[in-house]
Structure 1
Amino acid sequence: MAYDSAATKARLLDAAYDEFVRVGLAGARVDRIAKAASANKQAIYLYFGSKEDLFDAVMADRLRVLADVAPITADDLPGYAGALFDALVADPGLQRLSQWRALEFPEASEAEIDSHVTKATEIAESYRVGLTVATDLMMIALGASMAWNATAPRIRNPLDESEDRRLAAHRHSVVTAVTALTAALTVHD
């Protein structure tokens, strides 16, 4: 059987994602990742360089997946907030990985900064606001979607009979809040 380096890399990224979501970078063990990926530890160092570089590769991979599932549409931030909410509900590990990233690497990378500036610039043009306001809008849309996923699943309303209804109500709240913010901008043009 021929060795498939692309398949090995993909298995390592998947196994590392599971490990990093569960225990973060500091708690992750290369030997557990390699074992879960049916690979050897040397493959991690060969393909990714270090555990930190593997974490960065996992983060970049998952952000690409998230961008495909919930693409930011500069002129529809409420739609983006709803799509992001859906993506985080479907894969709560994405948010947990982001939280580990913020805890263990508090400074944004150049790639993250460039990505945010590009998106904020598009939002600024769509809503005819300055870059600071556009960045705030983007972060509020992101924050509203993430805040629910960080707290609401642990806080159950005893009157809610249906998980689907509860999710729909929370999603509606997120989209409504972001809609109100963007609508307020157009009033002050």
Structure 2
Amino acid sequence: MPRDSQATKARFLEAASEEFAAYGIAGARVDRIAAAAGYNKNLIYVHFGSKEALFDAVFARAAEELLNAVPITPDDLPGYAGALYDFYLAHPRLMRLARWHSLERPGAAELLPVVIAANSAKVRAVAGAQAQGRVDAGLPPQALLSLILSLAGTWSPGSPEALGEGQDPPEEIALRRHAIVLAVGRLTRPPTAPAASAAPAASAAGEE
């Protein structure tokens, strides 16, 4: 068994990610996490202090993964929303963690520097694009960003609109992605920009 502290924490974070995604904070068991990691459960408190702090560490790692995988593209916000949708589908565990976070740790993300920094950077990027006339400025940048993120997650795993992980047919996934990209395009297009024509539903499955 590795004795390195960082390796130990990494094993706990991976095991806890599975446990929290499945059961949330209240339902998660530190003994199951410890067993999955291959360590004594007392080490969880040594390294993290509490179950809640362990969840925050798991969520911070998941948020950082998302932020690094899908950087914002202020010159192509529809494409950014589509890329987010793709990432959500490919990483259902992350979405389950995010939903548990909103239920059991509302406001706790305010304590996570990575989330604060990322949100501030995204708002600045949107505001800059609005100031330069590349994005519609009818809404405050924070409100516009919130709408974009909400649209991207409309059919994400675990949402009421999704049938369930692995159950949505590919053609439906493609149509939903097309709808998100189209909606964000209409929401963010400057008034003077030419409107993009909507692709026929039959061709949406081939959209990238």
TM-score (norm 2): 0.78
Question: Which of 100, 119, 143 is the matching residue for 1:136?
Answer: 143
What is the deviation of 1:3? 2.0
Establish whether residue 178 from structure 1 lines up as the match of residue 178 from structure 2: no
Which is richer in helix?
Answer: 1
Residue pair 1:69, 1:83 contacting (<8 A) in 2 also = no
Residue pair 1:19, 1:33 contacting (<8 A) in 2 also = yes
TM-score (norm 1): 0.86
Change (3 A) 1:188 1:42: farther
- Where do 1:18-37 residues align within 5 Å? 18-37=18-37
What is the deviation of 1:56? 0.7
Calculate percent identity across the aligned residue pairs: 44
2:104 match: 104
What is the deviation of 1:115? 3.3
Establish whether residue 187 from structure 1 lines up as the match of residue 185 from structure 2: no
* Per-residue Cα deviation, 1:51-74 (whole angstroms, up to 9, x for no partner): 111111101100111112211223
Which amino acid is the alignment partner of residue 140 of structure 1?
Answer: L
Residue pair 1:77, 1:138 contacting (<8 A) in 2 also = no
Establish whether residue 151 from structure 1 lines up as the match of residue 152 from structure 2: no
Residue pair 2:85, 2:153 contacting (<8 A) in 1 also = yes
CA distance in structure 2 between the aligned counterparts of 1:187 and 1:127, rounded to whole angstroms:
12
5+ residue gaps, structure 2, are: 194-208
* Per-residue Cα deviation, 1:16-72 (whole angstroms, up to 9, x for no partner): 111111111111111111111111212211221211111111011001111122112
What is the deviation of 1:120? 0.7
Which amino acid is the alignment partner of residue 116 of structure 1?
Answer: N
Count of aligned residue pairs for this structure pair: 181
What is the deviation of 1:113? 4.1
Residue pair 2:67, 2:118 contacting (<8 A) in 1 also = no
5+ residue gaps, structure 1, are: 156-161
Residue pair 2:81, 2:148 contacting (<8 A) in 1 also = yes
Establish whether residue 119 from structure 1 lines up as the match of residue 126 from structure 2: no
1:83 match: 83
CA distance in structure 2 between the aligned counterparts of 1:105 and 1:188, rounded to whole angstroms:
42
Residue pair 1:20, 1:28 contacting (<8 A) in 2 also = yes
RMSD: 2.3
What is the deviation of 1:5? 2.5
Residue pair 2:88, 2:153 contacting (<8 A) in 1 also = yes
CA distance in structure 1 between the aligned counterparts of 2:144 and 2:39, rounded to whole angstroms:
43
Residue pair 1:75, 1:127 contacting (<8 A) in 2 also = no
Residue pair 1:12, 1:44 contacting (<8 A) in 2 also = yes
Residue pair 1:82, 1:174 contacting (<8 A) in 2 also = yes
CA distance in structure 2 between the aligned counterparts of 1:92 and 1:81, rounded to whole angstroms:
17
CA distance in structure 2 between the aligned counterparts of 1:76 and 1:50, rounded to whole angstroms:
41
CA distance in structure 2 between the aligned counterparts of 1:188 and 1:98, rounded to whole angstroms:
37
